[in-house]
Amino acid sequence: MDHVTIRRIREADAESLRQLYEDPDVYTDTLQLPFPSHENWKKRLSEMPPTRYALVAEIAGEIVGNVALDVLTNLRRRHVGDIAISVKGVRQGQGIGNKLLSSAIEIADNWINLMRLELTVFVDNEPAIALYKKHGFVIEGEFVKYAFRNGQYVNAYHMARLKADVV
């Protein structure tokens, strides 16, 4: 595998992220829509809330994946983080998602003291589900007809990882 660098996201990454999310292998497994705009990504990065920890994975200067860890702001749920992750289609299965998820968990566990991490994943995304289970996430429930994708409704799992459950 090529050398993967994980770093904090920057506003200058807008075009690279647009390119990442125009990949059908990426947007199909997220809630993103096809044909993302540069302006939308530029705005998203310039208006990122301070409760979001967003990282990218780079190989030889090319962004090949990203992860966002959002700390919930509800007073009674500030111990919870929500994770979203994507990896470029041709780079899936190469350990990049593992590095991104490990980095987000490191921040959550050792720097911002989150007790619970949550995520949503389509039920047919078996590689992602396996990755999440490897890191201690468990399926807590299933959302029926969670999203509309490729002309049909698809279900999704709600998964979570409790810090106390991790050895």
Report the pLDDT value the prediction gives residue 1, as an integer from 0 to 100: 58
pLDDT in tens, the chain (167 residues): 579 999 999 999 999 999 999 999 999 999 998 998 999 999 999 999 999 999 999 999 999 999 999 999 999 999 999 999 999 999 999 999 999 999 999 999 999 999 999 999 999 999 999 999 999 999 999 999 999 999 999 999 999 999 975 44
Report the pLDDT value the prediction gives residue 2, as an integer from 0 to 100: 79
Report the pLDDT value the prediction gives residue 44, as an integer from 0 to 100: 92
Q: Residue 117 burial by CB count (10 A; 0-12/13-18/19+): exposed, middle or buried?
A: buried
Beta-carbon contacts of residue 70 (< 8 Å; ≥ 6 apart)? 49, 51, 52, 53, 81, 82, 83, 84
Report the pLDDT value the prediction gives residue 108, as an integer from 0 to 100: 96
- pTM, to two decimals: 0.92
Cβ neighbours around 62 below 10 Å, total: 14
Report the pLDDT value the prediction gives residue 140, as an integer from 0 to 100: 98
Instruction: Indicate the SS3 state at residue 55.
Output: strand
| Cβ atoms of 131 and 167 closer than 8 Å | no
CA distances from 73 to 78, 82, 83, 163 (A): 5, 11, 14, 19
Domains of the chain: 5-118 (3.40.630.30)
Q: Residue 143: what residue type?
A: F
Report the pLDDT value the prediction gives residue 70, as an integer from 0 to 100: 96
